[in-house]
Amino acid sequence: MLNNQKYIEAKQKRREIKKKDRRSASAEEVIYIFEKILEGWKTIRIFNTIIQTNPKSLVLKKNVENISTGNTKVYESELSEDRYKYYLELREKVYAFHKKPDQLV
């Protein structure tokens, strides 16, 4: 039982690292992308702004497009408790923003 618990924890940690690497955007960049999507910015403008303000950023245009849908996970370990709650609120707003008018309740 104890070995199984350790295995599950190690597996979750590996997945978290793999998904963060694949995302190639920091947690703060994800929050920034969400904020700008809600302000009505296009993804290319968001990408260009990120690259201009932080040339060392690893984010790719395709990643910005994927993140802009709200379908990106940021883990609690990446942010403070307040920022993580803010991220969750933004994520819900981005999901609602992308719903088609006929799907709104």
- pLDDT tens sequence across 31-89: 999 999 999 999 999 999 999 999 998 899 999 999 998 888 899 999 999 999 999 99
State how far the Cα of 32 lies from the Cα of 46, in Å rounded to an integer. 9
What lies within 8 Å, CB to CB, of 42 at 6+ separation is none
pLDDT for 21: 84
pLDDT 10s digits, 1-29: 678 899 999 998 999 888 888 888 999 99
Q: At 74, list the tokens.
A: 């940021």
- Answer whether 46's CB lies under 8 Å from 33's CB: yes
Residue 62: HSE in the Cβ half-sphere, 13 Å Cα cutoff: 3
| Owner of token pair 């296009």 | 42
Q: What pTM was estimated for this model as a whole? A: 0.83
pLDDT for 105: 43
